[in-house]
Structure 1
Amino acid sequence: GSADLEQGVAATAQSVYRIGSVTKQFTAAAILQLRDAGKLRLDDSIATYVDNLPAAWRGVRLQQLLNHTSGIPDYTELGESWMRIWGVEMTPDTILALTFDRPMDFAPGTKWQYDNTGYILLGMVIERVTGRSWGSDMQQRFAFPLGLGDTRECLTGPLIPHRVHGYDPAEGGTWVNAPYLAMSQPYAAGALCSTVIDLARWNRALHTGQVLRAETYREMTTPTGAAREDGYGFGIGRDSVSGHEVISHGGGIHGFISSNLWVPEAELSVTVLANSGSARLGPLTWNLVAAAMGDPLRTPRVERPLPAEQRARYVGVYALELPGGARDFTVAVAGDGLTGQLAGQGANPLRYLGDDTFGVSFDPALRIVFTVEGDRAVKMTLRQGGGVA
């Protein structure tokens, strides 16, 4: 791969990537360490540590922030209003204020919905309890003791050796620089950068008792309550790949996608980092696990060419029903194919699989199926569990 297309710099094992939401397991582990040290309780109200919150937020418990069951609105789901300020450096207080005027998505503890705002709040809790910045705490608590020399808060200003650039695909098989994002915005929800070497060390430390007590680790990796059905613990999830239980988390941030996975039965660590917002990490990650475990490799479903005369039938804006309400999903022509874009997020290439069905790069199990009447699509349906794409 390439770390810098403009300078012709190749990627190496020492290349430093933004890891996006893989950050959340670091933030969650810090909260659990602080709990074990008697500095906080998971059933504490967030209002104990963060001032000037909306009344509806004040009863939310730390545990509900950890496993995405708080109901607090996600600031990254604000659509165009957030996209317009991607380049603005913000404090955590300013980030929170973006959603102060929005109603709760649901009553705390009653549902599961992925929520970056909750992890902004957890970062603020860490700062309040420790008296140091979240980024400094990550280095003092984890990076220095565990020898993670290239893991740090990935702020825009400081020079970071071996930092790679993020890209998005463009027409004609070319690349463009990913949209600029002020890295103070993802904060404790997604602002770390790291290397495959550091994340392999982190995986071994986290999953073999070097970071948390055994009972605390079980608590972190065991989905409970409204998060049980979605397999989400505290900052990390449980799933299966080729019949093997895995503990994992992925990340996606402007120009970067990451996948970080641990197979308990083999104490196997698999980390894949990409500096492309359209990279297909799922099939690669799954086949790396299969190869290491001696299982047959999976054959991806073949992408088909989409004739130009058929592309127009899918183009349009569709109302996508999500737990927090309806969101616009825009399908547009890009080059010789289509892209799909959820309001507030970047566009992703859609891979035509036949029968009015498309795959997406960021989730190989996701299928987008269109209902076509005449020569126009009238409905779009999301389906999970599509297998390797």
Structure 2
Amino acid sequence: MRSRFAAGALAVAVTALLAGATPALAQPQAPATATGTAVQQAMDRILANGAVGVQVRTTRDGRTATATAGSSVLGTPWAVPDDGRFRIGSVTKMFIATVLLQLVEEERVELDAPVSRYLPGLLPDGDTITVRMLLQHTSGLYNYTDALPLDDGEFLAIRFRPYTPHELVDLSTSRPLDFAPGTDWAYSNTNYIVLGMLIEKVTGRSWDTEVAARITTPLGMLATSAPRGSVFIPAPHARGYHPVAGVPVDTTELDPSWGGAAGEMISTTADLDLFLTALIDGRLLRSAQLAELTSAKPDTDGYGLGAFARNTPCGLTAWGHSGGIPGYTTLAFTTLDGSRRMEASVTNGLGPDSEDAVYGIVDAAICG
């Protein structure tokens, strides 16, 4: 949640287990296509960088394939489920942005209106910070996760601590702005906590209720949910690990409320593919709103209004988001014509130099 890699990030860790089920022995993955070979090599690379397990779903020109590597439980030969649930971290932001842009299309929210119009008194600079700035991370709001003990063993102290959105915003507003609103770009999870509160104020319902009503239920995304205070991930799932003093610690169960609208949802690769497909084909956003979602400028580090561009080695541009939370790293990207899509979950204890390896999975899936 700090860099653009963490531009989907609430932090590290991973692996997997079919909770409540008898785990199957891992079987060798035999790729049937050139794309499968490239993805397999990318998965091998991420395992070499410290991941315990990985599952990937790819779609190219109407053909879908799934692949897994590693193990679902550290130190065992148990296979990673290719339909397992996982915490998606900041990929949650794409759902929040979609709801906001629907509200814009319904003329219930204005992108360039000040936040104070909808949430008076919440932000000291609410008169100069607009909804668009929140969506695009140009508000200057201090990133509240930088004030949380998320590194190494410090995270264990807050692992089961519940947080409210107001607490998280207060962590941010107790610090000065990083820059004057609209003058620069910096990834800040605070922006999406505020957007979750804005959705509730405008609709009278919580952000996760709106996500369910507008996106996941109509699309049949039955495995996608917000935890609502639960520390568990529904089965089947891989177990997630967080490195503590260089040793992976199982952090599968945790209270993700500190992620909130910025990153607490749970999903699967199949469900995320349903979401990406509906996003691109117009079922969720009209063309004007989709254009806003993908309206990255040179000074926004490739970030639009809730998604960012990945320029792949083969010249194709994929749009989507990455996400991280202790135990899990998520990737969800698609070309704008929808012909090439990919979703992946990595269960890891990834090292600081793993960003290239993680995004290598995106490149392999999109390019082949």
Please report the TM-score for the alignment, with normalisation by the length of structure 2: 0.72
2:272 to 199, 202, 224: 199
Q: Distance in 2 between matches of 1:177 and 1:104?
A: 36
Matched, 1:70 2:139: yes
Partners of 1:199 and 1:271 within 8 A in 2: yes
Quote the residue 1:252 is aligned against.
Answer: 324
Q: 1:225-374 counterparts in 2 under 5 A?
A: 226-227=299-300, 230-242=301-313, 243-265=315-337, 267-278=339-350, 280-291=357-368
Equivalent in the alignment of 1:5: 73
* Structure 1 position 79, deviation (Å): 5.2
Structure 1 residue 86, shift from structure 2 partner: 4.8
Structure 2 regions of 5+ residues with no counterpart? Answer: 1-14, 18-71
Per the TM alignment, residue 181 of structure 1 is displaced from its structure 2 partner at its CA by 4.5
1:40 aligned residue (109, 112, 129): 109
C-alpha change, 1:170 and 1:105, in structure 2 (3 Å) is: closer
Structure 1 match to 2:240:
166
1:182 maps to 255
Q: Contact (CA 8 Å) 2:241, 2:349: kept in 1 or not?
A: yes
Query: CA separation in 1, counterparts of 2:347 and 2:253?
Result: 14
Q: Hey, what does 2:293 align to over in structure 1? A: 220
User: Is contact 1:221-1:234 (8 Å) kept?
Assistant: yes
Contact 1:253 1:277 in 2 (8 A): no
Secondary structure of 2:82's partner? Answer: coil
- Is the counterpart of residue 61 in structure 1 residue 61 in structure 2? no
Distance 2:296 2:147 in 1: 27
Letter in 2 for 1:2: A
Structure 2 distance, partners of 1:206, 1:194, is 16
Secondary structure, aligned partner of 2:173: coil
Once the 2 structures are TM-superposed, how far is the Cα of residue 135 of structure 1 from its aligned partner?
1.4
CA contact (8 A) 1:13 1:197 kept: no
Q: Provide the rounded CA distance (Å) in 2 between the counterparts of 1:73 and 1:86.
A: 22
- Counterpart of 1:341 in structure 2 is none
User: What is the SS of the residue equivalent to 1:2?
Assistant: coil
* Contact residue 74 and residue 115 of structure 1 kept, 8 A: yes
- 8 Å Cα contact 1:2-1:8 kept in structure 2: no
Give how far 1:176 is off: 2.2
Task: Tell me the secondary structure at the aligned position of residue 152 of structure 1.
Answer: coil
Determine which structure has the larger helix proportion and give its number: 2
Give the C-alpha shift of residue 147 in structure 1: 1.1
TM-aligned CA distance change 1:90 to 1:79, over 3 Å: closer
CA distance in 2, matches of 1:170, 1:55: 37
CA separation in 1, counterparts of 2:212 and 2:104? 19
Q: Any conservation in 2 of the 1:272–1:281 contact (CA below 8 Å)?
A: no
- Name the CA distance, whole Å, in 1 between partners of 2:279 and 2:269: 15
* Equivalent runs, 1:120-139 vs 2, <5 Å: 120-139=193-212
Given that 1:257 and 1:277 are in contact with CA atoms closer than 8 Å, whether structure 2 keeps it comes out as: no
Distance in 1 between residues matched to 2:215 and 2:182, nearest whole Å: 30
Q: Contact 1:45–1:58 (CA<8 Å) still a contact in 2?
A: yes
The one-letter code of the counterpart of 1:150 is A
Distance 1:54 1:128, change over 3 A: closer
Q: Kindly state the Cα deviation for residue 288 of structure 1 after the two structures are TM-superposed.
A: 2.1
**SS of the residue 2:258 aligns to:** coil
Question: Higher mean Cα deviation, 137-146 or 55-64?
Answer: 55-64
1:185-233 Cα offsets, whole Å, 9 max, x none, are 1111111111010011111110111110012111111114842xx1110
Q: How far apart are 1:265 and its partner, in Å?
A: 4.9
**Number of residue equivalences:** 288
Structure with the largest fraction of strand: 1
| Structure with higher RCO (Cα < 8 A, 6+ apart) | 2
Alignment correspondent of 1:14: 83
User: Which consecutive residues of structure 1, in runs of 5 or more, have no partner in the other structure?
Assistant: 292-389
Question: How far apart are the structure 2 equivalents of 1:235 and 1:262?
Answer: 14
Shift of 1:8: 7.7
Letter in 2 for 1:165: R
Structure 1 segment 85-96 matched on structure 2, within 5 A: 85-96=158-169
TM-score normalized with structure 1 length:
0.68
Task: Indicate the RMSD between aligned Cα atoms, in angstroms.
Answer: 2.6
